[in-house]
Amino acid sequence: MTVKSRSLSAGFVLVVLVAVPSPWWPVVGTVGAGAWLSRWWRRRREVARRAQVDVEILARSLMIAFAGGLSLPVALEEARSLLGDAVGGEVESLMRAARRSGFGPVLASRGGPHTSELFLRLAAAQASGAPLARGVEAFLERRRIEDRARMLTRARTLPTRLIVPVALLILPGLVLLMLGPLFVNRLGGLVGPLVGG
């Protein structure tokens, strides 16, 4: 949020407080706090979603780099430019630590909340002598399975979540569509003799 938008928000709050009578201040404050909390929660979810996408981008970039014959440090350096702040910061932290003591011990011990699983798989592949691309493949496969399970869970709960919208939005229109002509006909029959028609 920029300084200008913060000052506009503060000005709006002051105008509302002056314009609204004092008995309504708790209501206005509750609505304002609810709006701020909703915005904060949405922003937090967006940051978490962006970090998940960035980890996927990092893993796929590493796969491409390994297929091209690049080493792990070069692959991480190349992938860093594609990442956002959260995941990019974790990669930079790993790179700084690896410059001091090498990638072997650092891969298993470094990584933040987003990249630790990927780095652990890379460390296991490097320690066993397996190709690093296999570790990244295993990570991507596990992510794919988790995403599919999450989507299936959401799909299974869809009918339950649609009960309220169907009951509140579709059903009244359907009842009006079915019974509306009947009421108009009856109303015309009742009002017709009074109007003289």
Q: Provide the pLDDT for residue 61.
A: 92
**Full residue range of the structural domain in which residue 117 is found:** 47-166
15 lies in a domain? no
105 lies in a domain? yes
Rounded to whole angstroms, the Cα distance separating 185 from 100 reads: 87
**pTM over 0.85, yes/no:** no
Instruction: Collapse the DSSP code of 179 into the 3-class scheme (helix H, G, I; strand E, B; otherwise coil) and give the result.
Output: helix
Distance between first and last Cα of the chain? 66
Q: Please state the separation of Cα 98 from the chain's center in Å.
A: 31
Per-10-residue mean pLDDT of the chain, 197 residues long, equals 58 65 73 84 89 90 91 88 87 87 78 83 86 90 94 93 86 88 84 68
191 lies in a domain? no
Contact 54, 65 (CB under 8 A): no
31 lies in a domain? no
- Treating both helix axes as pointing N-terminal to C-terminal, what angle do 3-19 and 25-67 enclose, rounded to 10 degrees? 160
- Positive or negative torsion for Cα 13, 16, 17, 18: positive
29 lies in a domain? no
Contact 63, 136 (CB under 8 A): yes
Q: Provide the pLDDT for residue 173.
A: 87
Domain count, the chain: 1
